[in-house]
Amino acid sequence: MRIASLRIENFRSIKALDLELGETTVFIGPNNSGKTAILDAVRIALTRRWGQRGTGFTEYDVHLAKENDDPKSSPGVVIELRTEETVADEWPDGMQQSLDNISQTDPVTGKSFITLNVQCAWSEPDGCFQPVWTFLNAARKPLVGGSARRVNIERFWQYVPVFYLGALRDADDEFTSRSQFWGRLLKAMEIPPKLEGRVQQVLDRLNTRLLKADPRLAEIADTLSGATRVAARDREGGVNLRLVPLKSWDLLSKAEIILRNEPDWPWLPLQRHGQGMQSLSVIFLFQAFVKHLLAELYEPESVPVLALEEPETHLHPQAARTLWSHVSKLPGQKIITTHSPYFVQHVPFRDLRIVRLTENGTEIQWLPPSFSAMIPHVPALDATVANSGGLLTYERASQTLTVAGKLEEALYRNLLTCFGNNADRAMIHGVLRQLRDRSLLFIPDEELRALETFARRVRGEIFFAARWMIVEGQAEYLLLHGLGQGLGYDLDEHGVSVIDAQNNGSPDTFAAVARALGIPWCAVFDGDDAGRSYVTKIAARDFEAAFVAARCKTLPAGNLEQQLLTDGLEPDLRQVLQAIGQVDALTMDQPALERCLRAHKTRYAAELAHRIAADPSMALRMPQALRDAVMSLRGLA
Amino acid sequence: MEIALETALAKLTDIQRQAVLWDQGPLMVLAGPGSGKTQVLTCRIGQLLDASRDQNFRVLALTFTNKAADEMKCRVAVFVPGLEERATIGTFHSFCAQILRQHGVHLGINPDFAIYSSDDDRKAVLEDALRTAQTEGKRVSLDDVKYLAIIDRLKSKLIEPSVCLHALAGVVDRDRVAEIYQLYEQELRRVNALDFNSLIFEAYRLISTFPAIAARYRKSYPHWLIDEFQDTNSAQFRLVRTLAGNDFRSLFAVADDDQIIYEWNGANFKQIQSFLADFAAQVIQLPTNYRCPAAIVEAANRLVVYNAQRTTSKKPLIAGKTDLKYPASEHIRLVVFESDAEEASEIAKEIAERGRARWGSTAVLGRTKALLEQMNKALHEHNVLSVIAQRRDDFLSAQFRWLVAVLRQLARPLDRRDLAVLIEAFNRLTGLAVSVQQVITEAETTGRSYIAIWLETAGRQSLKQSVADLLTLIAGAANDASLVKTALDGILADIARELAVPDADPDLAEDMAAWREISRDISSHLGRNVPLDQFLQELQLRSKEPTPKPDTVTLMTIHGAKGREFDFVYVIGLAEDIMPSFQSKKKGGQSPEMEEERRNCFVAITRTKECLVLSRGRSYRGWQKEPSRFLVEMGLVNPD
């Protein structure tokens, strides 16, 4: 059973957030943007006692709109999660029957789902924050009767156990006999009674022989037994020394992991390996735990939810890259936060969530496969939905209309017409308009697939960028970096990712992705046919004309070389060519110069960039369009 | 396996065991009276659960009355302690309520719907709908509330308002009636309430409109058992049929068409035929009667063959009772008296003479309420403790009617329906004089709740301390839902004080006993902290009649005796025009009505474990009456 969606209100930095989760979801974002709050919300909903004292909720967990608001008067924290079958009859029979009271069925598709709502508000009589768990029906109203009994939430928790692995994964903490995974794995080990008997015999004999090894040990024991004579005057007690543990559990509980990284290196206890190794071991320990113990401690059909913070901690970038394939194969549902571009490099685009803190609290942006809005049912709606070729679906109980892609004009108008005579038509039309606008952010699967194939190299880093600059190729990439430094606006320092679109996919896809993810962007292209076609393609993506004109600059003189020459940089270019080993750099004629520049595009660009970076006055002589592009990044929103 | 279950299984006869362990698809068990069918049902449930301890599926068992359901639940709990939760045992209505609470959302029904079982409530709903329709200019009037009976019939046949015209053929002004039906249904939906017929109808509508939900139930409940199948009406049958779909196999129905006494409610021996046909079911007959002495079994066999409308190839009952406590001469006796008055007093005398120890296991069955009341008086005159048992939909005493009104008002503060009862009952009990109309007007003009206004108005008058305390408790509950239980406890404590005095009102005592039983039952099956609207729903589904005290003779109509058994049974009024009734005679000797009368008689006499006394008077209310033809058919009287 997997969590399909999550709704959080009034929790720490989150005012109101609706998220969808997949089998693996990866959250990235600046520190303190609210990523951990999301993980913690899932933990609170799925465990009864969280934290050392009681529910773990304190007044600091309640979202405050203003600094001096009183948490006790807040409407309270709400965490609602919904688990759903992906197809009808997916859930195993035994689990479906056990959770029968609290599950709902989509009457059209036959898919079952369960909605859990946790509310935590200040309770005056109890003097603390009290959580209240209820299950909701398809219209999000609380279920009553047998469905409201406590035993239902206990059963539900059994099927969706949540585990948390924080960023500090220390072998000292996680590999003791009392740790959440290691401890329980050890305790579950079954030593056959015969072997246990043998072990105890051997330990006893060993103990006796050790005691006899040094006679002073016996004398010490005897002296100590004086204590019993003082304590109980009439009867004689005894004191003995155990140099060796009593039972196999005493031995097992001290079991240590020893590792060696290469075949001929010495074995070392885990705690003596580097932090990276320790951190990784804990992740694999979780895997062992699920494989061997989960079904026993929970239910055979239980599917764990793992909240994993920064799996890349202490790991070399290479290791971080390969880690993804292991983490994504961990059993159960994974909710991961990361700061690593290397880790993110392999994450499928739709599994990423960018978390930011704004004046409305924590917000999320991502590349959703569909968009939903709540509108009331009218009979005309059924026909429109039926004739939409699968693009539209409508769930009547919750009054939710979902569009699985961009809502085109014709279909949009059909929807508006359905409510033509409705009393609330102004409000409903507003909702539909917003839905249409949001759906313009849709990026189809094929396009994302193309991006995933081509954009491997840049993929990781660009999602962490504050702004994107889209250019045509490697040469422009190098030049702009140099220009930035020369103009006093170092692109790296200011979190700008320069994306050379030719090598990585089409520019308009990047523009659309940037818009969907809320990343400010601008672009510079050649002024030739190719460059102008890029601008046209971007414009065709439902961007406003004025916006496209402002954000996309083209070189008026044509391609880059033509532009540089037009702007009077010929002498500098000749020098650059000479510097990179072109013999007749200073003498060749213009057409030859152009050809030569184009033939050594990247090399000359690198050298030119180097010079511009060091010389601000030269930077100021660079083409206007390029300088404007760099300066425009400053205030870009 | 628990000892209790093992022992019970070992004690089953071969045929009974065959039924319990049946797994060859749909089965109809034709079980005569006293054949051990309840034991078969509960053993089967116990065995199904015991054999699947590592699984989570549930077993569904549908009974005819809540009492039967409660008894079965207790027995199952003894057989498979710890697994009781996997057995869903209830009436059709309670099962449908459960379906609608969980999935009714897809029909626009909220989980906290109210159940209106009393005729008064339903008439009030229809009246509200009619009034509103009048203001909208529709041509209806308050008199049209008389069509409620027709609406009930349509609903019990699962006929929607939009298609009911053909079913109303012969009714004057069909279109208007159809519209009134529509108005009634809309009003019920508007106030989020369902009546008993709605429970079945809406559940049927839900599963037939959304087959996915029916499929869910088939998966969660892979085994179904239905008791008293002969008494299901066509709506209930169709519900089962639709829920089962084409593939459901483990359907176990127990029936006896010789005990159909609810034909007026739509039950029909054809239901059994339909079951056999639709489900291609096998049949097992349990003809051996372990309850009655052989003489009674023979008389019952002789009687019932006069009916034509029954399953062909039905075997006659076989007498199987071995340990008899009384000599054969006492097994079945016919006594004749001059008049109904003499009948009552002589029988009362005989019962009195039998001794107090026997009263608890004695029953007097009569065809009409009047007969029973006369009998009851006679018994009291002879100092015999006796009580007329009847299903009661409402409490008797003003105190409990007031209590229920208060709870309903707290659950639905915007509803005016219970206000009149609440205010007037309270006035009567405390001597206050609060005006219903004034409270309504003031609440509606100031926008405050009805109960707040009433509390204020009542509070202003001079009150005894105990009354004032009650009002304070109710005020607390009105503001804070968590205080409802406290208020309820306070009111019950007050009533208990009233009962502690000698000469306390017997109606009040009965109501208190009934209340305690119902509360205990609800909390044992739904937990201690049942939300108020849920508690009220459950209250509506249950009879308000308490179990009779020990050492009390039970008087009942034959319908009330269904499923029961007593050591000593007196069937009185066995005269033409009484049993069989005058109406049935008018319909004709071969009519379905007459056959149902015959079945009533059959059911009556087969309640007996030891001694049966059949009695008649030569005159009733001064009119001479012939002996009942049933006595002739049983061979106890020679036809002359």
B-chain residues near A94 (CB < 8 A): 55-56
Using CA atoms, how far residue A480 sits from A487, A495, A528, A613, A625, in Å, is 10, 14, 19, 10, 11
pLDDT digits (tens, 9 = 90+) for B430-458: 888 888 888 888 888 888 888 989 998 88
CB contact under 8 A, A105 and B213: yes
CB contact under 8 A, B219 and A112: no
pTM: 0.83
Q: Which of A28-42, A448-462, B12-26, B610-624 has the lowest mean pLDDT?
A: A448-462
- A352-358 and A24-28 strand pairing: parallel
Q: Which of A16-25, B218-227, B391-400 has the lowest mean pLDDT?
A: B391-400
Nearest-CA distance B56 → chain A (Å):
5
Q: Which of A397-411, B507-521, B601-615 has the lowest mean pLDDT?
A: B507-521
Nearest-CA distance A148 → chain B (Å):
9
Mutation target vs B (from A91, A105, A159; most B CBs, 10 A cutoff):
A105
pLDDT digits (tens, 9 = 90+) for A46-96: 887 654 444 566 777 888 777 777 777 778 899 999 999 999 899 999 999
Q: Which two tokens stand for residue B434?
A: 């609060």
> What ipTM was predicted for this assembly?
0.79
d(CA A559, CA A605): 14
Tell whether the model's pLDDT for residue B323 goes beyond 50. Answer: yes
Q: What is the pLDDT of residue A52?
A: 43
Cα–Cα nearest to A375, from A419, A344, A329: A419
- CB-based contact, A139 to chain B, within 8 Å: yes
For chain B, the residues whose C-beta falls within 8 A of a C-beta of chain A are 55-58, 98, 101-103, 105-106, 110-112, 209-210, 212-213, 215-216, 219-220, 526-527, 531, 533-534
What count of CB pairs under 8 Å joins A to B?
81
Tell whether the model's pLDDT for residue A233 goes beyond 90. Answer: no
The residue assigned the tokens 């650059």 is A576
CA Rg value for chain B:
26
- CB-based contact, A137 to chain B, within 8 Å: yes
B462: CB partners within 8 A, 6+ apart: none
pLDDT digits (tens, 9 = 90+) for A302-334: 999 999 999 888 888 888 888 888 898 898 999
Tell whether the model's pLDDT for residue A129 goes beyond 80. Answer: no
Main-chain phi, psi angles of A347, to 5 degrees: -75, 125
CB contact under 8 A, B534 and A145: yes
CB contact under 8 A, A149 and B101: no
Tell whether the model's pLDDT for residue B611 goes beyond 80. Answer: yes
Mind giving me the DSSP string for A469-501?
A: EEESSHHHHHHHHHHHHHTT--TTTTTEEEEEH
pLDDT digits (tens, 9 = 90+) for A471-507: 998 999 999 999 999 999 999 999 999 998 877 778 9
pLDDT digits (tens, 9 = 90+) for B564-594: 899 999 999 999 999 999 888 998 888 888 9
pLDDT digits (tens, 9 = 90+) for A518-567: 999 999 999 989 889 999 999 999 999 999 999 999 999 888 988 998 88
N-to-C CA span, chain A:
40
CB contact under 8 A, B220 and A100: yes
CB contact under 8 A, B106 and A94: no
d(CA A483, CA A524): 13
Tell whether the model's pLDDT for residue B43 goes beyond 90. Answer: yes
Instruction: Please give the average per-residue pLDDT across A462-469, as a whole number.
Output: 91
Task: Find out whether A524 and A555 touch, Cβ atoms under 8 Å.
Answer: yes
Nearest-CA distance B410 → chain A (Å):
18
Nearest-CA distance A73 → chain B (Å):
17
Q: Taking a contact as any Cβ pair under 8 Å apart, which residues of chain A between 62 and 121 contact chain B?
A: 88, 93-98, 100-101, 104-110, 112
- CB-based contact, A130 to chain B, within 8 Å: no
Nearest-CA distance B53 → chain A (Å):
12
CB contact under 8 A, A147 and B58: no
Helix (H, G, I), strand (E, B) or coil at B141: coil
- CB-based contact, A397 to chain B, within 8 Å: yes
Q: What is the pLDDT of residue B626?
A: 92
Percent share of chain B, pLDDT over 70: 99
Q: What is the pLDDT of residue B264?
A: 64
Tell whether the model's pLDDT for residue A101 goes beyond 50. Answer: yes
Tell whether the model's pLDDT for residue A111 goes beyond 70. Answer: yes
Task: Find out whether B544 and B514 touch, Cβ atoms under 8 Å.
Answer: yes
Q: Which of A74-88, A285-299, B419-433, B519-533 has the lowest mean pLDDT?
A: B519-533
More confident residue, A397 or B203: B203
Searching chain A, which residue's CA lies closest to the CA of residue B59?
A97
CB contact under 8 A, B58 and A100: yes
A-chain residues near B215 (CB < 8 A): 110
Tell whether the model's pLDDT for residue B161 goes beyond 80. Answer: yes
More confident residue, A273 or A369: A369
Helix (H, G, I), strand (E, B) or coil at A243: coil
Q: What is the pLDDT of residue A540?
A: 92
Helix (H, G, I), strand (E, B) or coil at B134: helix
Dihedral angle at the C-alpha atoms of A149, A151, A153, A155, nearest 10 degrees? -150
Task: Find out whether B545 and B514 touch, Cβ atoms under 8 Å.
Answer: yes
Average pLDDT, chain B: 89
More confident residue, A180 or B492: B492
- Compute the half-sphere exposure of residue B187: CA atoms within 13 Å on the CB side of its CA: 21
CA Rg value for chain A:
32
Q: What is the pLDDT of residue B640?
A: 62
Q: What is the pLDDT of residue B328?
A: 87
Main-chain phi, psi angles of A389, to 5 degrees: 65, 30
Percent share of chain A, pLDDT over 70: 97
- A496-500 and A467-471 strand pairing: parallel
Continuous segment of H or E residues that includes residue A334: strand A333-337
Q: What is the pLDDT of residue A236?
A: 65
- CB-based contact, A134 to chain B, within 8 Å: no
Tell whether the model's pLDDT for residue B59 goes beyond 70. Answer: yes
Searching chain A, which residue's CA lies closest to the CA of residue B212?
A110
CB contact under 8 A, A149 and B103: no
Using CA atoms, how far residue B78 sits from B6, B70, B227, B358, B467, in Å, is 11, 13, 20, 28, 45
CB contact under 8 A, A145 and B101: yes
pLDDT digits (tens, 9 = 90+) for B350-386: 999 998 999 999 999 998 888 999 999 999 999 998 8
The residue assigned the tokens 């008494």 is B231
Question: For chain A, how are helix, strand and coil distributed in percent, rounded to 5?
Answer: 45, 20, 35
Q: What is the pLDDT of residue A42?
A: 92
d(CA B250, CA B21): 11
